[in-house]
């Protein structure tokens, strides 16, 4: 029992949010980076709910099942999932969504469809080749009943490798969104699939100038692309192509999260301890 009375009467999410801010405050800042504590608190207030520990525990359990199935398919029995790495990525994605997502029912339903087509009975129609963005930027024209997808966003805590290059390239998110738009537009009973918001909104269309937004940690140096890219994964021509893509602001916009890498690592360590304590 807390005899000092500290924390009594506070909601669980308030205590966890306070603990997270305390561990963040103890992190030694990277050179040239200064945290915006007020902004960080605002973002955490959107991320940390009553069941945050159970939600993230559930995420790890689901990720383990997914990895076990992958091992059976690929025959890679020696592969072990890096729980800390997977959890860091999930936490950073949640922070980015809280900070940059439009947060409308339309955007949320569309983003869920990107990630979980099976949930809506559309896995077969969507297929397996879909590259799923973490964010979708949409605009509804209520007169024409057209939903224009003008952007996709991806949160990346670590350095960028081949997979991200494919996602940001022409055949990545754009192709996946074209598939989704086609499936939605051709499905007549969206309500019965649980896509009521999309059913009422209208037809999906991709903006011809659709831009991809890349959200990186606050302490990444956007002027030093070597700090962004896993250069060893690329041939020299492909590396140059990737660098040119990241420098093209008409195609790729780079935004910074309010949290640095070390701060996300510190929060992950705390949350992992709480998850392990649950068992």
The residues with which 154 forms a beta bridge, in sequence order, are: 214
Which of 102, 210, 204, 207 minimizes the C-alpha distance to 146? Answer: 204
Q: List Cβ neighbours of 151 (8 Å cut-off, separation of 6 or more).
A: 135, 136, 137, 207, 210, 211, 212, 213, 253
Q: Which two tokens stand for residue 153?
A: 């966003």
Q: Is 165 exposed, middle or buried (0-12, 13-18, 19+ CB in 10 A)?
A: buried
What DSSP string runs through the chain?
A: --TT-TTTT--HHHHHHHHHHHHHHTSPPPTT----HHHHHHHHHHH--TTHHHHHHHHHHHHHHHHHHHHHHHT-TT----HHHHHHHHHHHHHHHHHH----HHHHHHHHHHH-GGGGT-HHHH-S-PPPPSEEEEEEETTTTEEEEEEEEEE-SS-B-HHHHHHHSTTSHHHHHHHHHHHHHH-S-GGGGT-HHHHHH-EEEEEEEEEEEEEE-TT--TT-GGGTB-GGGS-HHHHHHHHHHHH-TTTEEEEE-SS-HHHHHHHHHHHHHHHHHH-
* Distance from chain centroid for Cα 210: 19
What pLDDT is attached to residue 116?
85
What pLDDT is attached to residue 6?
47
Q: Radius of gyration of the chain from Cα atoms? A: 20
Strands, DSSP E only, in 82-202?
135-141, 146-155
What pLDDT is attached to residue 10?
58
Tens-digit pLDDT string for the chain (279 aa): 344 444 555 566 788 999 999 999 999 888 888 889 999 999 999 999 888 999 999 999 988 888 777 677 666 666 677 899 999 999 999 999 999 999 899 999 999 998 888 889 988 888 765 667 899 999 998 889 899 999 999 999 999 999 899 888 877 888 888 888 999 999 989 999 999 999 999 899 999 888 899 999 999 888 888 888 999 999 999 999 999 999 998 889 999 999 999 999 999 999 999 999 986
What pLDDT is attached to residue 221?
86
What pLDDT is attached to residue 137?
93
What pLDDT is attached to residue 106?
94
What pLDDT is attached to residue 161?
93
What pLDDT is attached to residue 78?
61
What pLDDT is attached to residue 174?
85
What pLDDT is attached to residue 115?
85
What pLDDT is attached to residue 214?
93
- Cβ atoms of 77 and 71 closer than 8 Å: yes
């Amino acid at each position: 029992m807390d005899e000092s009375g500290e924390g009594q009467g506070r909601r669980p999410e308030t205590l966890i949010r306070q603990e997270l801010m305390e561990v963040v405050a103890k992190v030694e800042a990277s050179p040239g980076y200064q945290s915006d504590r007020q902004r960080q608190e605002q973002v955490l207030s959107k991320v940390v709910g009553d069941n945050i520990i159970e939600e993230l525990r559930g995420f790890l359990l689901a990720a383990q099942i997914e990895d076990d199935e992958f091992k059976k398919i690929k025959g890679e029995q020696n592969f072990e999932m890096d729980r800390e790495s997977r959890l860091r990525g999930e936490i950073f994605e949640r922070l980015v969504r809280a900070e940059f997502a439009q947060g409308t029912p339309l955007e949320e339903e569309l983003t869920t469809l990107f990630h979980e087509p099976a949930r809506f009975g559309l896995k077969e129609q969507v297929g397996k080749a879909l590259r799923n963005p973490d964010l979708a930027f949409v605009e509804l024209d209520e007169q024409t009943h057209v939903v224009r997808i003008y952007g996709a966003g991806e949160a990346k805590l670590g350095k960028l490798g081949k997979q991200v290059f494919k996602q940001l390239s022409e055949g990545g998110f754009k192709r996946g969104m074209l598939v989704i738009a086609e499936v939605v537009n051709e499905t007549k009973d969206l309500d019965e699939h649980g896509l009521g918001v999309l059913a009422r909104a209208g037809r999906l269309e991709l903006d011809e100038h659709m831009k991809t937004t890349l959200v990186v940690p606050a302490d990444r140096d956007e002027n030093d692309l070597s700090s962004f890219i896993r250069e060893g994964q690329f041939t020299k021509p492909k590396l140059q192509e990737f660098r040119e893509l990241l420098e093209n602001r008409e195609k790729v916009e780079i935004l910074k999260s309010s949290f640095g890498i070390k701060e996300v690592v510190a929060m992950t360590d705390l949350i992992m301890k709480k998850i392990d304590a649950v068992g």
